[in-house]
């Protein structure tokens, strides 16, 4: 899983070469406004919150990668350590129900904890969440954007909008409507945040992946 989130598209175009044996050419102007390096943020925690619209009960499904790629082994919640974690997180929903979804992204290496979700929302016209790598049945490509998750047959409707000239959903806030029970069948639920600067068109293809988390889902 790639856990580095790119907050800007600034590219470092100037390189400084240091060579003790070489002299700098005369009349070579020094850059007055050097371009800063690309800033990046670490996503250590991915939370999917699903709230039952009838009871207001909220269940949190979590994936944690405490120090990013490498190092500490990533794990799923609800446990808070690798020893109390599970190998995968199974999302359990009830048939014929409506849930409200929220995705929260955090960098917990910082104090106070940094909410990457706020940055995604602020840069919403460059970001969009997709389910199962976009391999779903698109029920509506306009607003509100809606898909049916293949296998579990859950309708997911995006309830937030970006600030682009052509507004599109971001996917931080969603509404889920379940259908008939899938019994004990666990269908895949892959959630991917795509970074799509100046190319967001409602499809998965443009851009690159900022974070991707794989769950399983059961409708009881």
Question: Reduced to 3 states, what is the DSSP secondary structure of residue 83?
Answer: helix
- Which residue has better confidence, 25 or 80? 80
Token digits for 22? 């070489």
> Is residue 54 scored above 60 in pLDDT?
yes
CA angle centred on 96, ends 170 and 154, rounded to 5°: 35
pLDDT in tens, 150-190: 999 999 999 999 999 999 999 999 999 999 998 889 999 99
212 falls in which pLDDT band (50, 70, 90)?
A: very high
CA separation (Å) from 137 to 66, 70, 148, 180? 34, 35, 5, 17
76 and 38 Cβ atoms separated by less than 8 Å: no
User: What are the extents of the domains in the chain?
Assistant: 4-219
């Amino acid at each position: 899983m790639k856990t580095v989130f790119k907050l800007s598209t600034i590219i470092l175009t100037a390189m400084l070469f240091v060579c003790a044996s070489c002299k700098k050419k005369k009349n070579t102007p020094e850059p007055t406004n050097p371009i800063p390096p690309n800033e990046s943020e670490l996503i250590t925690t991915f939370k999917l919150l699903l709230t039952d619209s009838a009871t207001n009960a909220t269940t949190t499904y979590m994936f944690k990668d405490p120090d990013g790629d490498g190092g500490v082994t990533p794990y799923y919640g609800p446990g808070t350590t690798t020893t109390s974690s599970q190998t995968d997180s199974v999302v359990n929903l009830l048939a014929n129900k409506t849930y409200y979804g929220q995705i929260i992204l955090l960098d917990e290496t910082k104090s106070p904890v940094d909410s990457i979700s706020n940055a995604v929302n602020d840069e919403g016209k460059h970001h969009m969440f997709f389910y199962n790598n976009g391999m779903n049945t698109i029920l509506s490509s306009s607003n509100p954007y809606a898909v049916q998750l293949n296998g579990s047959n859950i309708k997911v409707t995006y309830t937030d909008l970006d600030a682009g000239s052509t507004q599109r959903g971001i996917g931080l806030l969603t509404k889920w409507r379940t259908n008939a029970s899938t019994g004990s069948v666990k269908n895949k639920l892959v959630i991917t945040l795509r970074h799509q600067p100046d190319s967001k068109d409602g499809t998965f293809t443009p851009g690159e992946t900022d974070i991707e988390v794989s769950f399983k889902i059961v409708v009881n």
